Structure 1
Amino acid sequence: MTFLPDTGYVPTAEDRASLDAWFTEYDAQSGRRNVERMADMAVFPLNLVSDDPGGNGRSAQWDREQFVATMTQVMSEGSEDIAFESTRTPVFLSPSMAVVFTDSAMTTEGRTQRLRYADILIRRDGKWAFQTMIQGGWGDNL
Structure 2
Amino acid sequence: MSVILPDTGYTPTAEDRESLDAWFTEYDARSAERAVERMADMAVFPLNLISDDSAGNGRSAQWNREQFIEIMTGVMGDGDQGITFESVRTPVFLSAAMAVVFTDSTMTMDGDSQQLRYADVLVKRDGVWAFQTMIQGGWGDNL
TM-score > 0.5 by shorter chain: yes
Q: Verify the 8 A CA contact 2:53 2:140 in the aligned structure 1.
A: yes
Provide runs of 4+ in structure 1 moved above 2 Å: none
Q: Which residue of 2 aligns with 1:42?
A: 43
Q: Which segments of 5 or more consecutive residues in structure 1 lack a partner in the other structure?
A: 1-6
Give TM-score, length-normalised by structure 2: 0.93
Alpha-carbon shift at residue 112 of structure 1 (Å): 0.3
Alpha-carbon shift at residue 81 of structure 1 (Å): 2.9
Give the distance between the partners of 2:93 and 2:53, measured in 1 at CA.
Answer: 29
Alpha-carbon shift at residue 79 of structure 1 (Å): 1.6
SS at match of 2:28: helix
Identity %: 76
SS at match of 2:49: strand
Alpha-carbon shift at residue 140 of structure 1 (Å): 1.2
How many pairs are equivalent? 137
Q: Which residue of 2 aligns with 1:3?
A: none
Q: Which residue of 2 aligns with 1:138?
A: 139
Larger Rg belongs to: 2
Alpha-carbon shift at residue 78 of structure 1 (Å): 6.0
Q: Which residue of 1 aligns with 2:114?
A: 113
Give TM-score, length-normalised by structure 1: 0.93
Q: Which residue of 1 aligns with 2:62?
A: 61
Give the distance between the partners of 2:133 and 2:105, measured in 1 at CA.
Answer: 18
Q: Which segments of 5 or more consecutive residues in structure 2 lack a partner in the other structure?
A: 1-7
